[in-house]
Amino acid sequence: RRLRVARPQARTRATAATPRATLEHLAPAHGRTQRPPPPGAPATESHRLEAKVPSCGFIPQMATSSARAPAAAATASGSWAPSTSRRVAARSRPAPATPLERSVGVGPGASRWATDGSGWATAALGRRHEKERRRLAGRPSRAVTEPAGDVPISSPPPTADERDSKSYDQTGQHTIELPELTPSSRENRFDLVIVGCGPAGLSAADRASSKGLRVALIDPTPLKRWQNNYGVWVDEFENLGLTDCFNKVWPRAKVVIDDARPDGIDLARPYGQVNRIVLKDKFLARCVDQGVVFGACAVEGVAHEGNGSVVTLKGGADGKFAGTEVHAKMVLDATGHARKLVQFERDFTPGYQAAFGIMCETDGPHGLDLDTMLFMDWRDEHLSPRYKEMNSQHPTFLYAMPFTETKIFFEETSLVERPGLEFDDLKVKLKQRLAKMGIKVKSVQEEEYCLIPMGGVLPTLPQRTLGVGGTAGMVHPSTGFMVSKTLLSVRSLVDTLVDELKAGGTGGGARIDADGVAERVWQSVWPDEELRMRTFMCFGMETLMELDIKGTRQFFETFFKMEQDVWGGFLSWRIKPLGLVKLGGVLFFKFSNYMRFNFVWSALPFMASFIKNFATADNTFNSDKWGGLVLQKPKLTSVPGQGPIPRPDTDKKRENPAAEPISGSSIDFSKLIAGGDIDKPQQASKLRPDREWIEFQQRKIFKDQAPIVDVLEPLANDAVVDVLVVGAGPAGLAVAAEMATRGVSVGLIAPDTPFVNNYGVWLDEFEELGLTDCLLHEYDDALVWFNDRDPAAGIGLNRAYGQVCRRRLREKLLARCKAAGVRYAPGLVDQLRHGDADEGELSVVSGAIKRDGNNDVSFNMSAKVVVCGTGHNRDMLQYEDGPGPGWQTAYGIEVKMPGHPFEVNKAVFMDFRQSDPELEDGSVESGVWRVPSFLYVLPVDENTVFVEETCLVARVQVPFDELKRRLYRRLSRMGLNVTQDQILEEEASWIPLGGTPPTSPQRTLAYGAAAGLVHPASGYSIVNSLRRAPAFADAVVSGLEAGGSAEAATRGWDVLWGDEPRRQVGFYQFGMELLMSLRIEQMRNFFGTFFALPKELSAGFLGNNLTSVQLLQFALTVFFQGNWELRALLLTHLASAGAGVRLGKAYAHPLLRALSRGNGTNDGSVSTVVDRKKPPQEPNFSSFARDLFSAEEQGFLPGFQGKDWWAVGTRPEYGERKSRDDDDDDEAGNGGGGSAGGAGGSPRSSPQGSAGSKGERDLVSSSMNAASVTSLGGDQGSMAYWSNGSAALVVTSAVRNTGARVDDLYGERRKKFLPAALLNVTGQGVVPPYLTGEMPGDVGWDPLQMGAQRDIMKLRERELIHGRWAMLAAIGVLVPESTARLSIFGTPGQHWWNTHIEWTGTSSGIPELTYLGENIPWGVFWLPIIHLPLFFVAEMLRTGRLEVEAFRDLDRLYPGGKLFDPLGIGAGVSDEELKILKTIEIQHCRLAMIASFGFIVEALAWGAGPLDVFGGA
C-alpha cells in the first residue's frame, strides 16, 4: 500500500532464529508449478513450520479463525473497546489457514518444509534443479556480500513456541551472494543501469534481464532489508503472479466512519500483507540467475551522450568505486522518493501521507476480528480536547492488521496533508486511541515511520534519465498506494525499452537514438490516458485536503457504499478517464446537500487547472489555490512543540522531507504507552533545588585564571584607604582600577575566585571599549528564529557578535588594577559601619580573611568610601520598597559535537521555535501557559559548541532542571543527541531583572549588578558596567575632594540613579514587565517587530544607549510598526494598574521628589550599620525559592504561568521571617560581603553570591506553611505591583474599581429598582416572580408584564442586540457632531443626518454626494448596499436559520473568541467578573438606547443636534 520506513527495536525484538530460504530455493524452476499439500493432509509440525518460512514479515497476514470475534461495539459506558470474547487465550496463536490463503499458498499449512541435506528451505517457493545450483556455484564472478545480522537466511525450523510468537515477523537479513559490477566502456555498454534496489528497481532488473538485456544495478546496500511494509489488494498481486509473496491475507476489510456506527462498512475484497523478505529474495534470485551484476556504492551523477550515458560512482567498500564510470545505453532512476537523478522542470509540491505504526504483542487478546483487516477507522471521541480540535481540521484514521489474538499491527495515519503531520502527534493520538480501546501493549517489535509524497508534478517529460516508482510519480495521489502500480508499470517500461534497443541493434557498442528511445519509453509509462487519470487523482487529493473531519467522513461513507468495481477500480488505477468523470458525477449525486456545498467549495480553487490538464493530458496541474493568485496562509498541521526542528545546516533549496529514511522522532512511544517519564515538566519539589545549581556555578574552578593574590599587592588587615571596593567581578575590578588611576588609594576585598560566567557581547560595543583583544570568538552575524515558519537557516540581524574570553578579560582588568596600585585581601565582609561624615569619621569594614590550612584571620579596614560590587546580592545595601524582580534563568552546556549544524561564524541569538508543547489543558481561556524560552548558541569550532536554553524573564523563576529538560528535548528534535562524556562544561545562569533600585543617597555606594545596572529587559550588564565606570569614578573622586565621603556618595548615586537614569531604567522595566506577561505567540510578535526597527533604535535599546526622549521615540516606532495585536498589548499594558503608573513615576521623579520634600515625607534615613547576616531586606535567593514553591501550592508547574501570575506568593515584611544560620552563610562563601560577583553579564551571567542553604530552606518551609502564602488573585494590592499587559487585567481593575459585587447584581438579594425600604412598604409583589435575578441587569422592573406573556430570553436577546446597535449609533452621532462643530470634517451648523445629493454645478453631469457639507467619494455610497446582505447573513447565522460548522456551538449572546472579542476582554477574567461585565454592558445598552431615541426626537422636533445645548459653534 505505502512505502514505509521501519525501525526494529533492539530491546524487544526476538532473538530466536527464524527460518530463511537459501538462494537455490528462492525462485521456482522455469515451467514448474508448486503443488498444494494433498487434500486432507494433516497439519503436521513440519507443515506448520514451513508455513512461516521466510517468517520475516511484519505486515499483517490475513488469517481466519474458527471462532470469529464480533466487530468492535459500543458499550453502555460509551467506550468503544473491542469485544473481549477473544481474550480467553493464554498466549498468541496463529489462526488456521482459510481456503483463500491455501489457494494463494500462504497461511498455516499452506507450504511445507523439506530437507535435502543442504538445509531447510521453503517448498512453497520451489526448488532449483541440481544443475542450476552447480552453475550458480561455479560462476566465476566475485561476490558482493553484506553482514547477515542476527539471523541467517536459512536456519533450522523454530520450536512450536517460537513459531507461535514469531510467525509473522519480518526481521531477518539477506545473505545471498551477488555478482559484482563488471567493467564497461563506450564500446561495451550495459543495456540498462538501474540506480536503486527497492521493489521498483529490483523488479525492473528482473524483467529486463529476463528479456535478455545486460543489466547493472547500483545501490549502496543492495542486500539491506526493505524497511517498508506493503499492504495490497490480493487481486492486484494475483494479476502480477506474486501470490506466493504474501505474509498474511484477510478475506475482507472494514471502514469505520464515526463513533455512532462502530460496525462500520464491510469491504468484501481480500487484502494482504506482502512478505518483504520473500519478495526481495525472489527478485534477487531471478536477477542473479539472469546475469544482473551489482555495484554496492552510491551514484555521484550521470552525464548523457549521443548513444548512451555515463554514470559516475562514489563510495563503496574502502572507496573502491570512487570516480568509477559505468557506461550504459539507458539509465533508470529507481531511487524512490529521493529523486536522485530525474529532473523536474517545476517545484515539486506534493501532499504528504504520514503514518506511525507498531508491530506489537498485546497484554491479552486485542479483540479485533482476525478475519478482517481494519482499513480505516475515523473515530475520534478518544482524543483529548487539544488533539480533537486539531483532528477536526487534519483528520487521521487507524489502520490495523490483526495476526493472532495478541499480535497485531496498528498504524495512525494521516491520509494527506501539506505539510505532513508530525510523527509525535501521531504517536500521542495512537496512544490515546489504544487507551480508549482498552488495549495494553506488552511489547513493540517494530516501529514504522511512513512519509509518502503524493501528487505534485511529474518529472520533466520526456528526459534522458528514465524513472519508475516513487521517483516517477507512481504513488496514487489520493490514497498513497504504490507498489502494485509500480510493478505493473515496470512491465510496460521494460517491454518498450527492449523493443527500442533491439531496433537499434545488438551488442554493447551498438549506436542508438537515446533521446528517441527515452521519449518513447516515457510515453509508454505515462500515456495520455494515464496522465488524465493522475490529474483526476491529484484534483481529488487537493479536495480531500480541504475537507474537515465531518466532510472527510461523509466523503468516505459515500465512496465505500458505491459498487466495489467502482471504488476498487479507483484505488487500483483501473478506471479510465471517462469512468472517473462518471465516478465524480455519481459521488456528487449521492452526497448530502452539506457535502455537495463543501465539496464544491473545496474543489473550486483547483477546478480551472484540473479542467485544463484533464482536457489536454498535460503535466502542469497547479496545487496552488486559484492558480497562485491568492496568497495561502501556511496551515498549522501539528501541535506546536512536536515533531522535528529543522537544523540550520538544512539545505534551504531542498524541500523533500522524504529524501532520507525516517527512523524516529522525539517522543519514545514505548515510554509513552508505559505511562512513565515522557519528557514532561515535573513538580518543583521533585527537581534539584536551584540553590544547588547556583552554588555549583559559583564554585567552579578554572586553572587558567591566576589567583588574584598572585597579581595584586596585599591589603593589610587594618588598612586605611580612600576607597574600599567589595567584590572582584568585572564591575568591581573595573571601578577599582578607574578610581585608583584618579589618584586615590583603593583596596579590594573579595573571595579569590575566577570569572565563571559566559559573557556574550555585541562586537561594536566591545570595540568602543577597546576590548576586542579579550574576545574568544567573533561572529559575523547573529541569527534569530521567531517561529517554525522561519527559514531553516535563520534570520540574520546583520550585527556582529562576540564571546568574551573570561581569562583574558580578567587578566586585563587585573593588569589595570595592578598598574594603578590597587591592593587586595581575599576576605569576606561581615559588617559595615559608617562613621559620622560631618565629623570626618571613616567607614569601618570588618570580616574574615580566608587562609588555606589555617584559621580565618579577622580584619577591620577603614575607608572614606565603600563601594559594593557584589553582584546580585542585596545583603550590604538598602533598597526601595516596591515589586520584586523578574527572573532570567538559563541552563547551558559546552559540548563536543563533531559536525554540529551551526555555522562557526554565526551566533544564534534567539531561537524561539518551541521546544515542547503547551500543557494539554493550557490555553488563554483557561489561564495557563508555558513561559517562553529560547535557544542561544555560541559555536566554538566545527566540533564544539555552547548551547543554552534561556528564559528571558519570568515572574516565577523557571528552574534549571526544567530548562535542562527543554534543552535536551530541543536538541533531540534537531537530531542532536548529547551524552555526558561529551559535555565539557555546564552553566547555570541566574539574573534578577528589574526590581527596586537601591535607596539613594546612602553612604554605601554600589556598582554593577548590585547597583541595578543589569538591563531589566534583556539581562545585559557587563558592557554597561565597563562603560560607565569612568564617569562613576570621576563623580566619587571629585566628591571626595569637594566635600568628603557624604558628598562622594551623593555624587556617585546621582550618576547611577539620577533623574535621567531613573527615566531610562523605568522605561526598560516597563518593557520587562510587558515581556514577563507574554505568551509565546505574543513574544514572537514583539521580537519580530523589535528586530525590524531601525538599527539605531533596536541596538540602542539593547545597549542602554538611548536617552529617555529617544526611548519615547522608540515606543512610538514600535507602536506604529507593530500590528494591531501588538498595539493593543502596548496600550493595555500602559493603562494597566502598576506598569503604566511606575513608568509615569519614573519620568516624573524630579517633580515627585520635590513634592515629597515639600510635604516632609522623605526623611532620607538610612541605617549606618549593615550586618551581612541580618540584611536590610529579603535576599533574592530566598524570595525566588519562596515564590517557586508558592506557585506549586497554587497548582502551577515549573515553567508555566497562569492568569494570576503577577499575584503568586505574598510579600510579608522581611523582619517577620526567620533569621538565617550564620555558619551556613559563611560556608557559602558569598553573600553580599565580597563575592567574586559583579557585572553579571549578557543573558549568560551567573550570580556571584547566595544566601545560606539552611536559611533558604527555613524560609521556604516557613513560606509554604504560613497562612499568608495565598494567591493574590483577589488582592487589590497585587495590582499595584504587577500587570500582565492584557485587556483582561485592565477590565479586572475597572470592575474592581466599581465596587460592584455579584451578590448585589444577581439572585434574590440583588439590588432592585426601588430601595429596600420602599420595597418593604409596597410589598414584594411589585417585583414579578419570573424575574429571579438570573439574568444580567435584572433589577426586578417590568411594569408592562411583558416577560409574563412572552419568552423572556427572546426579549433579553432582542434588548441586548438593540442595545449594542444603540451604543454604536450613539458614537456614530457624537463623532460627526464633534468633527463638524470643530471644523475637522464638516461645516459648523451641519448635523449627523445632513446627507445630500447635489445635482447643480457638476461639469460631468454626475451628482455629488455630500455629508455634513463635505463631498465624499461615490464609492462610499456602495458601503451600505454591500453591508445590507452581510447584515442579513449575520442575522441568519445568529438566529440559527443558517448554520455554519464553525459557529454551531457558540453562545448566541456572548460568543467570545478572537472574532467576537478581539481584545480578549472576557477571555482572562473570572466567572464573577464576567457576570459583572455582562451587567455593565446591559446598563450601557439601556443608556445608549435612551440616548439614541433622544437624538432622533431632538432632530425631528427641533432640528438640533445633541451638542447644540452648548451654544453656537
495-517 confidence digits (pLDDT tens): 999 988 888 666 556 778 888 89
The set of cell numbers assigned to 1070 is 516597563
pLDDT band for position 733 (50/70/90)? Answer: very high
Tens digit of each residue's pLDDT (9 = 90 or more) over 953-988: 988 888 999 999 999 989 988 888 888 889 999 999
* Eight-state DSSP code of residue 36: P
Look at residue 600 and tell me whether its pLDDT is greater than 60.
Answer: yes
pLDDT band for position 1495 (50/70/90)? Answer: very high
Pairing of strands 351-362, 407-417: antiparallel
Look at residue 33 and tell me whether its pLDDT is greater than 50.
Answer: no
Look at residue 461 and tell me whether its pLDDT is greater than 90.
Answer: no
* pLDDT value of position 118: 31
Helix residue ranges, H only, 1229-1276:
1253-1265
Residues above pLDDT 70, as percent of the chain: 76
Mean pLDDT in the chain?
Answer: 77
Q: Which of 961, 874, 852 has the alpha carbon at shortest distance from 1247?
A: 874
Look at residue 1227 and tell me whether its pLDDT is greater than 70.
Answer: no
In SS3 terms, 457-510 reads as CCCCCCCCCEECHHHHCCCCCCCCCCHHHHHHHHHHHHHHHHHHHHHCCCCCCC
Are 1207 and 1272 in contact by the 8 Å Cβ rule? The answer is yes
Tens digit of each residue's pLDDT (9 = 90 or more) over 1066-1106: 899 888 888 888 888 889 999 999 999 999 999 999 988 89
Contacts of 1417 (CB under 8 A, 6+ apart): 1409
Spatial distance between the Cα atoms of 1424 and 1411, rounded to a whole number of angstroms: 14
Q: Mean of the pLDDT values across residues 1324-1336? A: 82
Instruction: Tell me if residue 1371 falls in helix, strand or coil.
Output: helix
More confident residue, 912 or 47: 912
Please, what's the b/e burial string for 1429-1468 (b: 16 or more CB within 10 A of its CB; e: otherwise)?
A: eeeeeeeebbeeeeeeeebeebeeeeeeeeeeeebbbbbb
Tens digit of each residue's pLDDT (9 = 90 or more) over 827-855: 899 889 998 888 888 999 999 987 766 67
* pLDDT value of position 1268: 30
Tens digit of each residue's pLDDT (9 = 90 or more) over 1266-1303: 223 223 333 333 333 334 444 455 555 556 566 678 88
Please, what's the b/e burial string for 472-505 (b: 16 or more CB within 10 A of its CB; e: otherwise)?
A: bbbbbbbbbbbbbbbbbbbebbbebbbebbeebe
Q: Mean of the pLDDT values across residues 1463-1491? A: 85
Tens digit of each residue's pLDDT (9 = 90 or more) over 1121-1171: 988 888 888 887 887 657 778 888 888 888 877 777 665 544 445 667 888
* pLDDT value of position 1250: 35
* pLDDT value of position 1136: 66
* pLDDT value of position 1247: 35
pLDDT band for position 705 (50/70/90)? Answer: very high
Annotate 686-705 with DSSP letters as a single string.
Answer: GSPPHHHHHHHHHT---TTS
More confident residue, 1044 or 91: 1044
* Eight-state DSSP code of residue 683: -
Tens digit of each residue's pLDDT (9 = 90 or more) over 613-622: 888 888 777 7
* pLDDT value of position 740: 95
More confident residue, 655 or 1509: 1509
Question: CB-based burial of residue 937 (10 Å sphere; 0-12 exposed, 13-18 middle, 19+ buried)?
Answer: buried
Amino acid at 1348: A
Q: Which of 165, 103, 680, 667 has the alpha carbon at shortest distance from 403?
A: 165
* pLDDT value of position 1052: 93
pLDDT band for position 715 (50/70/90)? Answer: very high
Look at residue 1214 and tell me whether its pLDDT is greater than 80.
Answer: no
Which range, 468-482, 731-745, 1146-1160, has the best average confidence (pLDDT)?
731-745
The set of cell numbers assigned to 1104 is 542602554
Amino acid at 573: W
Spatial distance between the Cα atoms of 140 and 137, rounded to a whole number of angstroms: 9
Are 963 and 950 in contact by the 8 Å Cβ rule? The answer is yes
pLDDT band for position 1114 (50/70/90)? Answer: very high
Q: Mean of the pLDDT values across residues 563-583? A: 83
The DSSP H or E segment spanning 867 is strand 857-868
Strand partners, 407: 361
pTM over 0.85: no
* pLDDT value of position 104: 42
More confident residue, 1413 or 709: 709
* pLDDT value of position 927: 61
* pLDDT value of position 636: 61
* pLDDT value of position 239: 86
Spatial distance between the Cα atoms of 296 and 206, rounded to a whole number of angstroms: 18
Tens digit of each residue's pLDDT (9 = 90 or more) over 1161-1204: 444 456 678 887 787 777 776 777 777 777 777 677 788 876 65
* pLDDT value of position 159: 44
Q: Mean of the pLDDT values across residues 150-155? A: 35
Are 1038 and 747 in contact by the 8 Å Cβ rule? The answer is no
Spatial distance between the Cα atoms of 434 and 409, rounded to a whole number of angstroms: 12
Q: What angle do CA 560, 566, 568 make, to 5 degrees?
A: 70
